[in-house]
Amino acid sequence: MRSHYSSIDQREKDQYESSPFFLNDKDDLKPTQLDIFDFDSTLFLSPSLSPTIWHPSLIRQLVGEDVFGPGWWRDYRSLDLGPMDKLEKTHWAHYWNEEVVARARESLQDPMVMTVVLTGRRTVPFLPLISRMLASKGLDFDLVGLRPDPTQESHDDHVNNNTPHRTYGASSVFKNTLDFKTSFILNLLHNIPSLSKVNMWDDRMGHVKKFQDFLHRLTRTKQLASGSNVYHVKPILPRYRPLWEHKVVTHVLETHNANELLYRQEQLWNRAISTIPWTSDDDDDNDSDSKAACLTKVAKHLSLKPIPSSTVLKLEPSVVESLRAVLEPYYTSQSHLQGWRAKAETPQWFGRHILLSPHVLTPYELEKHHGRLGTKWTIVLEKVSKPNPNLGMVAMVTLHNDDDYNDYSDKNKKQYIFPLIYKPSQGTTIAKKHFEWTDVPGYQRRFGPGVIAYAHLLGLDGKVKDGEEHQLVCLDLETKQSVLGKRTTMDDVVDGGSSHSKK
């Protein structure tokens, strides 16, 4: 973490001198306060990869830099939310934390406050997109601070394959987002000596604490007056869009696949910014998780397929529907979100199986505790949690076999969490939450049977042989041509691969 002006980079000096604040001579007003708003999950409800769809190992690979792409937070597609004209007309509706937006507007109206948005998102490729987002919302910040790492020049040099490595992003100058942001603040304090107080808004508690220490150190060394604050913003995600996630992840894997082929053929690595080929007809108002993912083989000899992720008691669809018919209306009658939060991520029905273990148990472990795969159990609903708009609702159940089929009073029976309704982002943590319990609302306590099984999530499974043909399924012709070159023809697209471009 930087603490002195001499350690900052020329890139940030250039960033300040190209800002509306500098170009419009606003420094003549001698503002005394600097208000800094983080972008992702603070000002803007940025999407992430849902643990209800993707295996944790795949999420790590997609978020990691230079695995199958630039990495989620460096990849333009992570903010490529649909047809640009539609999004711009609606001002990216339902993607804003309106409480933070209102606070930013207050700052913007005060001539004695310099108001900036500061994010670890990279200038290349995000500056044009984030600038359009902010402009559509009428947020004219004094400075839009993105991490100038790489610059347009270093990015262009990287895209032109002047670096020999198979990497998507140019090398970084700053160690991390915290390093960039502290350098950014020091630069502003140096160039605008009238600033004596800093307020910050951020969603990451780890960053909040480190920024508090940073500002305290600046106060102690007389670089700031007392009274600076760092406010924690509870992160809120946008509404659940599984079809959008499938589309983005498929596109990331397919463009990486094409890159692997290009490298094998010509020892080149395409580093151009990848975007989703949206059409004017794309509309996910009916987005749900019922549509199957497009399965494909990628060039690292891995298949995208459902792989075991946990051990569960799986319920028949008819049992699920009968449960849902009673419990979902009960939840919605007791739990409501108001205002803009009702259009953000909300708890969804996922009550399809009872969690026995968050791990894939071995046959020995299964036999010891639950019975082998396929063993049937009758389920008794003991209690449900009180409906909560932030947590959703779960049930507490016990399992019974034929021997104790009519005895439901055994207090020593092990109890299991049955996740019913919860936010998709809490898919791996919902069973660990603390709940208030209540009686079962007007539903028979006994139901089932349930069958011991493994729950599956989409992940990568290495079962494709080295010599097997690499398929480019779901990759539209335009994208394939941009990666492999204009020599590509429709004959190169395997059966099923053109469906994406026919929408």
Q: 3-state SS of 311-339?
A: EEEEECHHHHHHHHHHHHHHHHHHCCCCH
Decide if pLDDT at 294 tops 60: no
pLDDT digits 0-9 by tens, 117-146: 999 999 999 999 999 999 999 999 999 999
pLDDT digits 0-9 by tens, 371-419: 899 999 999 999 999 999 999 999 999 998 865 555 555 556 789 999 9
Mean predicted lDDT score pLDDT of the chain: 82
pTM of the model: 0.83
Which is higher by pLDDT, 299 or 74?
A: 74
| C-beta separation of 304 from 296 below 8 A | yes
pLDDT digits 0-9 by tens, 244-288: 999 999 899 888 888 888 888 888 888 888 899 887 666 555 565
- d(CA 104, CA 139) in angstroms, rounded, equals 8
- d(CA 263, CA 471) in angstroms, rounded, equals 16
Share above pLDDT 70 across residues of the chain, in percent, rounded to a whole number: 77
The predicted structure's pLDDT at residue 9: 57
- d(CA 97, CA 139) in angstroms, rounded, equals 13
The predicted structure's pLDDT at residue 173: 81
Decide if pLDDT at 454 tops 80: yes
What's the pLDDT band for 486 if we cut at 50, 70, 90?
very low
3-state SS assignment for residue 253: helix
| C-beta separation of 450 from 335 below 8 A | no
Burial class of residue 503 in the structure, from the number of CB atoms within 10 Å of its CB (0-12 exposed, 13-18 middle, 19+ buried): exposed
H or E segment to which residue 159 belongs: helix 152-159
The predicted structure's pLDDT at residue 285: 52
Q: What is the dihedral of CA 201, 207, 212, 213, to 10 degrees?
A: -160
Domains assigned to the chain: 10-46+95-154+165-232 (3.40.50.1000), 308-459 (no CATH)
Which is higher by pLDDT, 257 or 107?
A: 107
Lowest mean pLDDT among 72-81, 110-119, 363-372: 363-372
What's the pLDDT band for 472 if we cut at 50, 70, 90?
very low
- d(CA 483, CA 488) in angstroms, rounded, equals 9
The predicted structure's pLDDT at residue 94: 97
- d(CA 419, CA 447) in angstroms, rounded, equals 16
H or E segment to which residue 212 belongs: helix 205-220
